[in-house]
Amino acid sequence: MIILTDRQKALLKAIVEEYISSAEPIGSEVIERKYDLGVSPATIRIEMGRLTDEGYLRQPHTSAGRIPTSLGLRLYIQELMKEKQLPVTAEVSIKERLWQERYKRERLLNEAVRALARQCDMLGLAIDEEGEVYYAGTANILDWPEFYDIDVARYVLSLFDEIPRLREIIGRAQGTDPIHILFGEDLGFENLRPTGFVFARYTTDTNEKGGVVGVLGPARMNFALVLPYVRYVRNLVAEALMRS
């Protein structure tokens, strides 16, 4: 894998952000018109070709447009994206709702997934230390173009009837980072290709294994906002369970 130049990183950032907004393959003319990269349309096309050859972009069909791969999205998240500040009103509202349920784990996690579903407009999910699954916002995913494909929507919703498969997917996250991101194209299930999972692990003082809480949605979700929401809710859940 080559080290990307600053120009290539700026181009990748523009393509990812445009794709998150539009859900459509991005052509060089869109980048040239909307982003001031200081290069000619021909140079943009050449650099898009290089990013494709290196695996950061792919061409979904015969059009000239490109979309980011999981590799491109990960580079964007790790190096190019700036996380957004959560609105104070949202933080206060979420904490009030969760804190009211801090003495009952089931009600706490139900409120946590509802908060994530509401704030991120996705499917909120949690798996507790006993392996019990909680979820909310299933209707939210049907608003995203990626789930207009009935096979994709049916497969995602079936995960909550086939809990072992959902646990197996979540279990693929490796590493010590508290927040994990899984992209459907890396998971080996065709009907999960356009999807993404963002979740954070939490532990309690009575169970080192702990559980997870997060969201399921399109792979092009607005990570700049989703990540801080998942982190904030995870921290509240962990703190509440420690005190209960």
Helix axes 6-22, 41-53, angle to 10 degrees: 90
Contact present, 224 and 84 (Cβ < 8 Å): yes
- According to the model, what pLDDT value does residue 126 have? 97
Sign of CA dihedral 56, 147, 159, 132: positive
Residue 118 CA to residue 138 CA, distance in Å, equals 11
Q: Exposure of 74 by Cβ count < 10 A (0-12 exposed, 13-18 middle, 19+ buried)?
A: middle
**pLDDT of amino acid 210:** 82
Point out the residues of the chain with pLDDT beneath 70: 1, 62-64, 205-208, 244
pTM of structure: 0.94
| pLDDT computed for residue 155 by the predictor | 97
Pairing of strands 195-204, 67-68: unpaired
Instruction: Please give the pLDDT value at position 36.
Output: 85
pLDDT at 32: 92
Residue 171 and residue 131 in contact, taking contact as beta carbons nearer than 8 Å: no
The pLDDT assigned to 27 comes to 93
What was the pLDDT predicted at 38? 87
Q: Using the Cα atoms of residue 94, residue 95, residue 101 and residue 105 in order, give the sign of their dihedral.
A: positive
